[in-house]
């Protein structure tokens, strides 16, 4: 849409709403229409008071998309890996090599695998720093980033990093990152790096990247928002702002100030399931896009499993993934209770359709215990963010939440019978170590167990025959 068309639409809207008193092209006229969070909430609120036909006409304008000359944002698509990992492309170096990275609100560092990295996944094109004339190695001594289980080793470095390889490629010079030459215990990671998005300005943190986006005039605010799991929108991250079109109609953002600015930590005043209290240990929760599941302190997890296992046969997965499973038989996920949490004074619901995945006669529970550092915190991972459009405001140290357009449609996907993921929490809160079991592997194990059982039976049969002979 051309700018002239945008102005015409905005002018028409202002007249309808009774807001237009001066030419619409002036910047302050945008502020008259949009509230101080530079989105279309106020317009939607006013539209609701209009006749239905006019209200629909106003809402169809998608104002948040149409004012990009005022609200500068950058939309980066995310790739969805079975609802358990979300990653995107960064383009690095003078030759713009595409690298897949996890966008992780639970950690602070940006790291990228080197072409000769030992133990790295190497799933995308490889970044060879020697082929980039803009690369600079800041230190000659390797250091490391430790996670709950696993760590990476590498050198502090800088290079050109772009968010796109299109005509408007949104490039930043001398972005700090760690060039990783060795990774340990990162099996199952579907990316070649991690882009940390925590609010604290750590050394080598993404604050460097976001600040450069602001300084370069590419975005106006140190803010980003995430939508994942929506049925009519591809998952993406929006740098520079948010757009209420990704929230359910009639929803407004509810803002929560951070209680710990190391992470996106909010005050969780209560948590219940089947009207029974869960949060016996902590009153804090961390919104973490790098964790696939909901992670609970051990004490809360014991209460949780006691409740959901009532009248069910439930147990930990025998293969050591720490995933809790229940026999479902003819049940489906709707037979499990929802989880209700209250952040400040606002209630949020995690439906059972989000935390239970049914496969055959087994239900996998995507709520897991965490025994790592910061174990007193609840970790609200992708399961939570799939249900709530999440806005992360670095400048004002707060998180905004609104029910998303998410429709729980992953049941229609072709499921791997035993596809399981588990995120371990550590110093950076998210190790992104995903352990999954494929059906083929499970069948192989069952085959071995059958063979062992047959050998035992054969051994017993031989023993009885010997005794008979004697």
Residue 143 falls in the annotated catalytic set: no
Residues 287-308, buried b or exposed e (16+ Cβ, 10 A)?
bbbbbbbbbbbebbbebbbebb
Element spanning 115, H or E: strand 110-118
Residue reference for tokens 């080793």: 153
Q: Which of 29, 104, 300, 393 is catalytic?
A: 104
The catalytic residue among 40, 159, 192, 288 is 288
Q: How many CB atoms lie within 10 A of CB 134?
A: 15
Query: At which residue do the structure tokens 């709950």 appear?
Result: 148
Distances (CA, A) of 427 to 30, 149, 150, 343: 43, 10, 11, 24
In whole angstroms, give the CA distance from residue 90 to residue 112: 10
Distances (CA, A) of 184 to 122, 187, 235, 426, 437: 13, 8, 29, 14, 20
Distance CA 296, CA 372 (A): 11
Q: Which residue in 57, 15, 53 sits closest to 33, CA to CA?
A: 15
Reduce the DSSP state of residue 127 to 3 states and report it: strand
Tell me the β-bridge partners of 380.
287, 294
Q: Which of 241, 87, 109 is nearest to 176 (CA)?
A: 109
Coil, strand or helix at 117: strand
Calculate the CA dihedral of residues 444, 447, 452, 458 and round it to 10 degrees. -160
Verify whether residue 288 is a known catalytic residue: yes
From 256, 260, 255, select the one nearest 376 (Cα to Cα): 260
Neighbours of 163 (CB within 10 A): 22
Q: How many Å apart are CA 263 and CA 51, to the nearest integer?
A: 44
| 168 backbone φψ class: left, alpha, beta (φ>0; ψ -120 to 50) | beta
Q: Which two tokens stand for residue 262?
A: 């190391």
Point out the residues that are catalytic: 104, 288
């Amino acid at each position: 849409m051309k700018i002239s068309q945008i102005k015409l639409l905005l002018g028409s809207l202002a007249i309808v709403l009774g807001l237009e008193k001066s030419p619409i092209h002036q910047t302050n006229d945008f502020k008259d229409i949009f509230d101080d969070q530079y989105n279309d909430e106020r317009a939607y609120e006013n539209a609701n008071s209009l006749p239905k036909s006019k209200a629909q006409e106003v809402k169809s304008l998608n104002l948040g998309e149409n004012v990009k000359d005022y609200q500068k944002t950058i939309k980066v698509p995310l790739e969805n890996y079975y609802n358990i990992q979300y990653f995107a492309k960064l383009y690095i170096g003078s030759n713009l090599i595409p690298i897949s990275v996890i966008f992780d609100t639970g950690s602070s560092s940006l790291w990228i695998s080197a072409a000769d990295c030992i133990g790295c996944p190497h799933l995308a094109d490889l970044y060879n720093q020697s082929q980039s004339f803009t690369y600079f190695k800041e230190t000659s001594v390797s250091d490391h980033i430790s996670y709950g289980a696993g760590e990476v080793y590498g050198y502090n470095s800088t290079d050109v990093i772009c968010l796109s390889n299109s005509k408007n490629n949104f490039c930043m010079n001398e972005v700090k990152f760690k060039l990783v030459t060795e990774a340990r215990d990162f099996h199952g990671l579907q990316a070649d790096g991690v882009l940390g998005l925590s609010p604290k300005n750590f050394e080598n943190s993404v604050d460097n990247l976001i600040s450069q986006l602001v300084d370069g005039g590419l975005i106006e605010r140190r803010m980003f928002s995430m939508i994942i799991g929506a049925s009519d929108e591809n998952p993406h991250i929006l740098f520079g702002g948010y757009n209420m079109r990704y929230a359910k109609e009639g929803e407004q953002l509810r803002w929560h100030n951070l209680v710990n600015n190391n992470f996106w930590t909010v005050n969780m005043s209560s948590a219940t399931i089947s009207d029974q209290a869960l949060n016996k240990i902590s009153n804090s929760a961390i919104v973490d896009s790098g964790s696939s599941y909901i992670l609970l302190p051990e004490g809360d997890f014991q209460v949780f499993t006691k409740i959901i296992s009532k009248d069910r046969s439930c147990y930990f997965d025998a293969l050591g993934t720490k995933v809790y499973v229940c026999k479902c038989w003819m049940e489906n996920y709707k037979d499990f209770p929802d989880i209700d949490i209250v952040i400040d004074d606002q209630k949020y619901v995690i439906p059972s359709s989000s935390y239970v995945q049914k496969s055959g006669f087994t239900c996998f529970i995507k709520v897991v215990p965490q025994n790592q550092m910061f174990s007193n915190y609840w970790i609200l991972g992708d399961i939570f963010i799939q249900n709530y459009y999440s806005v992360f405001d670095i400048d004002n140290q707060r998180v905004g939440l609104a029910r998303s357009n998410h429709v729980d449609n992953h049941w229609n996907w072709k499921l791997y019978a035993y596809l399981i993921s588990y995120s371990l929490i550590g110093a950076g809160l998210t190790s992104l170590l995903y352990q999954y079991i494929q059906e083929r592997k499970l069948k192989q194990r069952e085959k071995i167990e059958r063979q062992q059982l047959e050998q035992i039976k054969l051994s017993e049969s031989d023993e009885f025959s010997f005794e008979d002979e004697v």
